[in-house]
Amino acid sequence: MESQEADKNPVVQRLRQWDAEAVSEVIEFRGETTVVVPRAHLNRVSAYLASEPFLYFAFLSDITTVDRFPLEPRFEVNYHLLSIARSDRLRLKVRLPGNDPTLPSVTSVWPTANWHERENYDLFGIRFEGHPDLRRILMPDDWEGYPLRKDYPVEGPR
């Protein structure tokens, strides 16, 4: 769904100039820009977006996962960024294979990611490497399985 509109987005242009490999795809839908980032580049891209004065995405609004089971790559982790100074939003998306749902943690860039990453670990089983305290947060500690995965029944385990 790559469009000319997305290429005109100054943030996307800036990212591409900085490192063309950091952007694997740009999706424009209903006025929202999504930048698909390869897993290996996530930490570098996050640090750049948060600190670069022109961009200044200092506020991480949310982290959430979509499970595309049975398709592969199975998981899509979305980071919703906000720049208060520039009144701008951006979504980063990282695609993960079902057999290895691991990601570098972004808690060093945005401390608020701590609980968001715990929630994604708890409900989807995404493992964040380098997270200071990766434990379940909403479900009981001894819970089995990851409830928001698509192969987990709505009625719960039987």
The residue ranges that bind another protein (CB under 8 A) are 29-30, 32, 34, 58-62, 64, 66-67, 78, 80, 82, 84, 87, 89, 91, 110-112, 114-116, 123, 136-140, 147-148, 154
Which lies closer to another protein via its Cβ, residue 20 or residue 53? 53
Asked if 150 and 65 count as a contact pair (C-beta separation under 8 A), the reply is: no
Rounded to a whole number of angstroms, the minimum distance from the CB of residue 139 to another protein is 6
Separation between Cα atoms, residue 77 and residue 28, nearest integer Å: 17
Which lies closer to another protein via its Cβ, residue 22 or residue 116? 116
Separation between Cα atoms, residue 96 and residue 116, nearest integer Å: 17
Rounded to a whole number of angstroms, the minimum distance from the CB of residue 150 to another protein is 8
Rounded to a whole number of angstroms, the minimum distance from the CB of residue 151 to another protein is 13
Rounded to a whole number of angstroms, the minimum distance from the CB of residue 40 to another protein is 23
**Angle formed at CA 35 by CA 137 and CA 85, multiple of 5 degrees:** 80
Residue 113 pairs in a beta bridge with: none
Neighbour count for residue 7 (Cβ, 10 Å): 12
HSE, side-chain direction, 13 A CA sphere, residue 54? 8
Which lies closer to another protein via its Cβ, residue 47 or residue 148? 148
Which lies closer to another protein via its Cβ, residue 18 or residue 115? 115
Which lies closer to another protein via its Cβ, residue 42 or residue 57? 57
Rounded to a whole number of angstroms, the minimum distance from the CB of residue 17 to another protein is 26
Separation between Cα atoms, residue 84 and residue 17, nearest integer Å: 23
